[in-house]
Chain A
Amino acid sequence: MEYTEKVMDHFMNPRNVGKIENADAVAEVGNPSCGDVIKMYLKISNDIIEDIKFQTFGCGAAIAVSSKTTEMVKGKTITEALELTRDQVANELGGLPAIKMHCSNLAADALHQAIKTYLKEHGRS
């Protein structure tokens, strides 16, 4: 099991870590017993993701995937963000070890869940 250089880069220097106070959308996925919990915070304005931050409890892959996901959707529209898939994130990182594809690749799920909740709260779903 080896991580690509891109995974190691995002793991060692994760982008967009932390919380956003007064976030417009928040979601948490995973659970500690699986070894991965990812929480996403989004600031949305005119359907654009103006800011995004994450908190992750998890392995190297889970942290790298979280970091990469935030990087890929920052400044994008929420429609674009909803189209982002787990596989696209993994591909951008140069691939993940097979066993990590399922268990540690949860960031896109957290992102989608946050946006869907946001849309619902704004009566748009």
Chain B
Amino acid sequence: MPRIYLDYNATTPIRPEVRDAIVPFLNELFGNPSSRHLEGRHVKTKMEAARAQVAAAIGTDPERIVFNAGATEGNVTVLRGYHINYKEKKARNHLIVSTVEHPCIYETAKKMANEGYEVTFLPVNSEGNLDLDTLSAAIKENTGLISVMTVNNETGVIYPVKEIAKIAHDRGILFHTDAAQAAGKIPFDVKEIEPDFVTMSGHKIYAPKGIGALYIKKGRRLEPLLTGGHQENNRRAGTENIIGIIAMGKALELAVQEMANDRERIGALRDEFEQRVLTEIPHTKRNGGAANRIYTTSNISFRFVEGEAVQLKLDYHGIAVSTGSACSSGTLDPSHVIMALCNGDEEEAHSSIRFSFGKYSRKEEVPVVVSRLAEIIAQLRGFSPLYDKFLQQQKG
């Protein structure tokens, strides 16, 4: 029985077309793109072609794209480096980020708060939605940057980034969006959304780990995290990760071409899965279900059982999923994202499992996962003191 992988939001396998595209760069095309000789020039040409592929995927020009090591680098670069756009550096030290950002933003913003920045963490409601009036009200005289992700990695909720960008710009504030879970999966055009900075990642779209790209709007600047070399037009020092860059260009180009089909096919699988789980397994709740969500992601709480236990048992039976439950992640707190959606009900947050579908998900997998889940949940509830208590209350 082959394993069933339902954790595409965590990472994806490298797709064959991408693998084929990088093979020459593992062999004869080894030059340093900064070199003036033929070896270097040849690779430089290929690198610029990949940059054009990435740019085209989000509706911009190649010179707006900076390659880096991934979404974490992109996000941290923006948070740490945006102030270079403001002459009065000290005056613009207020940041607004949502409470459901990826840890690389959330934790960095917390760290910056300790270092003297002013940070507002914008809450979401129990559907996972952000209230735009609350956002407007959070803006201060000294607000310099608003950062809200395009698609949430845990729940799949899609945020109104176009509207947020407008609110920011009306007040002279820069807007950044972490599009690691969006780029290549849903239509994303910078001409329409008008963000100042956009973070993208390669390994979420069937390219290797360790490659990402940052969009920087014309006229905007970022203080680089890595300094020294003149690479990436002085915006990111260090010899370029050519293999990653070639892969990301190819992967993003293909993703855009296949987006409409993927949306229909993967979306149908996700919907069927969700429908069956919610009807066939009692006491289940879909997190973020009423919000506008991406077609790949389903986040479900299974009451009375703990997420890590469910995840471990699924793994044992050949099914890979992830949990926002405390116990899986090396921290003791449940996911701040799911907590936000569970109205602070920590039991529900501890019971959540994320299923994320992708290119190699197949229809036949849905019934296998649903029946295995039903069995595991029943087993665990069979000796859950919380379930027992619930049954007693029902009787009483």
User: Which chain B residue lies CB-closest to A35?
Assistant: B350
Q: Are B308 and A59 in contact (CB under 8 A)?
A: yes
B7 contacts the other chain (CB 8 A): no
B residues 303-356 near A (Cβ < 8 Å) are: 304-309, 312-313, 316, 325-328, 330-332, 334, 346-347, 350
Minimal beta-carbon separation of B385 from chain A (angstroms): 4
What is the 8 Å Cβ interface bit string for chain A, positions 58-100, against chain B (1 contact, 0 not)? 1111110000000000000000000000000000000000011
**A59 contacts B325, C-beta separation under 8 Å:** yes
Distance, CA A104 to CA B313, complexed state (A): 17
Asked if A19 lies at the interface with its beta carbon under 8 angstroms from chain B, I say yes
Of A17, A32, A61, most buried by chain B (CB within 10 Å of CB) is: A32
A99 to B333, CA, bound (A): 11
Is A44 interfacial (CB-CB < 8 Å)? Answer: no
Q: What sequence of 0s and 1s flags, for each residue 2-44 of chain A, a beta carbon within 8 Å of any chain B beta carbon? A: 0100001001101001110000000010001111111100000
Task: Give every chain B residue within 8 A of A1 (Cβ-Cβ).
Answer: 328, 330
Of all chain B residues, which has the CB nearest A104?
Answer: B327
Asked, given contacts A56-B383, A58-B306, whether A12 binds B325 with beta carbons under 8 Å apart, the answer is: no
Interface string of B219-231 (1 = CB under 8 A from A): 0000000000000
Within 8 A of A (CB), among B101-136: none
Q: Is B238 an interface residue (CB 8 A)?
A: no
A63 to B316, CA, bound (A): 16
Measured between C-beta atoms, what is the minimum distance from B309 to chain A in Å? 6
Contact in complex: A57, B305 (CB < 8 Å)? yes
Interface residues on A, range: 20 to 34
B350 contacts A32, CB within 8 Å?
yes
Contact A62 B306 (CB under 8 A): yes
Check: B280 CB closer than 8 A to any chain A CB: no
Report the Cα distance A56→B327, complex, angstroms: 15
CB-CB under 8 A from A118, the residues of chain B are: none
- CA–CA, A99 and B329, complex, Å: 10
Judged by DSSP, the binding face of A is: mixed
In the complex where A11-B312, A63-B309 touch, is A57 in contact with B327 (Cβ < 8 A)? no
Chain A residues lying within 8 Å of B312, measured Cβ to Cβ, are: 3, 8, 11, 59-60
**B373-396 interface with A by 8 A CB criterion:** 382-388
| CB atoms of B388 and A60 under 8 A apart | no
Contact assessment for A59 and B313 in the assembled complex, using a CB-CB cutoff below 8 Å: no
Q: Are B347 and A32 in contact (CB under 8 A)?
A: yes
| A14 pairs with B325, CB closer than 8 A | no
Q: A32-B347, A59-B325 are in contact. Are A11 and B385 (CB under 8 A)?
A: no
Provide the bound-state CA to CA distance between A52 and B327, in Å. Answer: 26
Residues of A within 8 A of B304 (CB): 57
Contact indicator B306/A38 (Cβ below 8 Å): no
In Å, the complex CA distance between A8 and B312 comes to 9
Min distance, Cβ A69 to any Cβ of chain B, angstroms:
14
Return the chain A residue nearest B313 by Cβ: A12
Query: Cβ of B385 and Cβ of A37 under 8 Å apart?
Result: yes
- Per a CB cutoff under 8 Å, which of B307, B309, B313, B384 touches A55? B384
Taking a contact as CB atoms under 8 Å apart, the answer to whether A57 and B386 are in contact is yes
Chain A residues near B306: list those with CB within 8 A.
35-36, 57-59, 62
Are B309's CB and A11's CB within 8 A?
A: yes
CB neighbours of A34 from chain B (8 A): 332, 346
Tell me how far the C-beta of B250 lies from the nearest C-beta in chain A, rounded to whole angstroms.
Answer: 34
Tell me the minimal C-beta distance from B313 to chain A in angstroms.
Answer: 7
With CB as the reference atom, state the residue of chain A lying closest to B327. Answer: A59
Tell me the complex Cα distance, A63–B311, Å: 14
Interface residue from A33, A35, A38 paired with B385 (Cβ < 8 Å): A38
Least CB separation from B387: chain A residue:
A57
- With A58-B309, A62-B306 already in contact, the answer to whether A39 and B385 are too (CB < 8 A) is yes
Closest beta carbon of chain B to A19's beta carbon, Å:
7
Show the binding face of A for B, using Cβ within 8 Å. Answer: 1, 3, 8, 11-12, 14, 17-19, 28, 32-39, 54-63, 99-100, 103-104
11 A–B contacts, CB within 8 A, in A order: A1-B328, A12-B313, A14-B383, A28-B385, A37-B385, A38-B385, A56-B383, A57-B304, A60-B308, A60-B312, A104-B327
B interface, CB within 8 angstroms of A: 304-309, 312-313, 316, 325-328, 330-332, 334, 346-347, 350, 382-388
Given contacts A32-B347, A59-B308, A60-B312, 14 further A-B contacts (CB under 8 A): A8-B312, A11-B312, A12-B316, A14-B383, A18-B382, A32-B346, A35-B346, A56-B383, A59-B328, A60-B309, A61-B327, A62-B306, A103-B327, A104-B327
Interchain residue pairs A-B with the least CB separation, the first 6: A59-B327, A33-B346, A32-B347, A59-B308, A55-B385, A17-B383
